[in-house]
Structure formats: C-alpha cells, structure tokens
Structure 1
C-alpha cells in the first residue's frame, strides 16, 4: 500500500441549485462518479471526505463501499458541526487520520476536489514522479508536497495556476496539519502549503479537438461553467 486518494466531496452547489456539488451531473453523469472513474484507478485505496449523512453517497453503485469520512476534530475524533465543515484542510486531515487508524502502510495521500470532472489520467503518477525527483535532488523529503499547476497553452486563454487542493501529501504532515488547523486557526490550504516545501507539477491542457485545449483542472462553480462542462464532456478526449 503506497497511496491513498481522497475526494473532497463536501462542496455545496449553492450557485447550481443547492445540494452536493459532486452530485451535479456533467454530460449525464454526476461529477463525483466521473472523478471516481478517472481517479480511483490511480490510487491503492479511495475515500470520500464529506459531512452529513453518508447514505446519500453510498446508495449510488459507483460509490458503494467507499469510506465516507466526516471532518477530523482537534482530538482526532470526528468534528461536530454543520455539513459545510471546516474546509478542505479538515477533510485532508480526516483522510490522514483514517490511514493511521486503519494501520495502512501508505506513505502519501493525494487529494482532489469534487468539482473537477476532467482530471488527468496520469495525475498521481506525475505528482509522485515530481516528489521523487525533488527528494533525489536533496529536498526535505518527509515534507515535500507536490501540487498540480495548469500549464499555459501559449494562447493566453489558460493562465498558469496552482491548484492547492490537487496535491500529494506525505502522511508525516498529519501532526503539523492538526496543529495548524486547530491550534493556530489556519483554514486556507495555501496558507498551510506556505509552511511546506512545495513542488509545482505542470499539466498541459487537454486536447479536445478543433475547439482547442481545456484546463484539466477546470472546475464547475456556476451555471455557465456547468454548461461548458456539459459541452466538453462530449468531446472525444475529455472523457
């Protein structure tokens, strides 16, 4: 066992009619199910991070059997609170706690959001390769976090952009993350990453034919985004 994946599925679709953002359909398939299909085969174990009733996910065949983890609290027990929770850092911490509780020999956790339906098929391998290269060059191996970055396509349409929640986290960061989150009040993933050696990993646009490329980390936040994602879902190489 080397790598566990966590889908941060706690996002709410407030601008898309409410409910869980991951259950909003793109091209006829809920985004969460698309991500499970694209990402699940890249990791050794897969979990969902979400508060509230886990049955809303477990009742769907592609998600049946996946552990659904509520946010981790300061003492390692599930955090009390509303379904919005304490943000993505608490979901990442919950997955790290789960790895420890299960006694898994995983060395890393890869996190992805629930609203990026076109994740690269080589995401985990590329993040792992970048981490290995950095360790070989003498970086501080136990703390290296490899973070996905959109690579410009040359047209200026896709700007370079770091995606802090699409990252490969060493499990050794668990104690540091709990302290930052619950003792120091750090809520931003970017703020926590500022404390760690970060390796940006560039991903080129996905080629979807004559219309050009798309950012592989395109995320769905608005009705316009959803309409664009529906169109892209029918492109032959978008998946």
Structure 2
C-alpha cells in the first residue's frame, strides 16, 4: 500500500468487547468527564479519519444515535479484536478503501497524530501498530491501534477461522511496522477497564 501523504483513511472504533471488568454492557457508553467515552473517541478519531464506523456486537439499535455504520463481527463466538478489524476491512473494501485505521472505544487520550504516524511507519505490507513506552521505557505495542490494508483481509479471515486470536502473532507474520509514541506526561493509550479507571481518566482530564 503506498504511503501517500495527505490521504484520509476510514476509521473503525473497536467496541466489540464484553467489558467483563466493568460489569458488562458497553464501556463506550459510560460517562467520563461529562461525556460518554465513545463520544471522546469519535471526536478524536473523526479529526483524523473519514468515514468512521463502529465495530460492535448485539443489538445495533443502541448505537444508532451516533449516525455511524455499526459493524458486527462476521465470525461467531466473539473471537476478539481481530474479528473487529476484519469487519472493518470488509466494510472499507466495499467502497474501495486501501486500508483502515483502528482505535479502541475505551481509550480517550490516543494521539491526535495517530493516523499520520501509522501511515508514516507502515511496514512493507502496509501494516503498522502503535506503541508506547511502559514505566521501564520499554516500548509496548498497542495492538488495537493500527493501520490495516484491505488487501490482507482474506488472509486475516483464514487465520481467524484457523483459530488465531493474538493480534501480534498475525501482524508479526506480515512484518508490521511500529509507530512509537511518548508516554509523557502519561501514556496516551491509557484505557478504561474498571470504575477506578474512570476516576483516573477524569483526573487526567482535569475534571475530578
């Protein structure tokens, strides 16, 4: 996939998880600093990508108010985020897009230059994952934030049907690039999994 500067790619918000640590339901509909979590994510991703869609399972009516396509996993039994990526790739391929950018629905602080950096650091197959430094300054990949070429969707479908679930095993097999982001003053990929994380996010937003 050519890395063309200025190209705007579709964005897919991955919201297909079951939020077990939050007590179930849609994490994206929890309120953080006066706004639903998914509203924070939509605002940040819509400034970088167009059009947008949401990957979510269950009754799509609960998310229709956002005015975005709701993409369910095409594979059964909640096989994980890669199934959401696949749903996004199939959607984008339908209107001729060369790739998608993904962002998790529970991560409100992801970088405002996420899409540009993913494209700039794409590997030879066009894949790229975001990464940020952990407390020991070791780079950790953020596998739900990535650049995914639609040309690889059939390979991904076959891998999922064969039982693969771990994102980095598949991306490593396709020589994904890595877009590294600083973790100061805090990790931009801080994600909300528990009620306590909501409190921490509100502190970071200066609203607690």
Using structure 2 for the length normalisation, give the TM-score.
0.89
Q: Any conservation in 1 of the 2:18–2:26 contact (CA below 8 Å)?
A: yes
Q: Equivalents in 1 of 2:170, 2:177: separation in Å?
A: 14
Report the Cα offset of residue 162 of structure 1: 0.7
Runs of 4+ in 1 over 4 A off after TM superposition: none
Structure with larger RCO (C-alpha < 8 A, sep 6+): 2
Change (3 A) 1:122 1:2: closer
2:44 is aligned with 1:45: no
Report the Cα offset of residue 151 of structure 1: 3.3
Q: Equivalents in 2 of 1:185, 1:91: separation in Å?
A: 15
How many residues align? The count is 201
2:106 alignment counterpart: 115
Report the Cα offset of residue 23 of structure 1: 1.0
**Match for 2:86 among 73, 90, 93?**
93
Q: Which entry has the higher C-alpha Rg, 1 or 2?
A: 1
Q: Any conservation in 1 of the 2:46–2:52 contact (CA below 8 Å)?
A: yes
Which structure 2 residue ranges, 5 or more long, are not aligned? Answer: 1-6
2:4 alignment counterpart: none
Question: Which range moves more in the overlay, 117-126 or 2-11?
Answer: 2-11
Report the Cα offset of residue 158 of structure 1: 6.1
2:128 alignment counterpart: 146
Report the Cα offset of residue 194 of structure 1: 2.3
Q: Any conservation in 1 of the 2:127–2:148 contact (CA below 8 Å)?
A: yes
Report the Cα offset of residue 218 of structure 1: 0.4
1:137 alignment counterpart: none
CA RMSD of aligned residues (A): 1.9
1:188 alignment counterpart: 166
Using structure 1 for the length normalisation, give the TM-score.
0.78
Q: 1:1-239 residue pairs with structure 2 within 5 A?
A: 2-59=8-65, 63=66, 65-73=67-75, 79=76, 85-101=78-94, 104-131=95-122, 140=124, 143-151=125-133, 156=135, 159-182=138-161, 184-206=162-184, 213-234=185-206
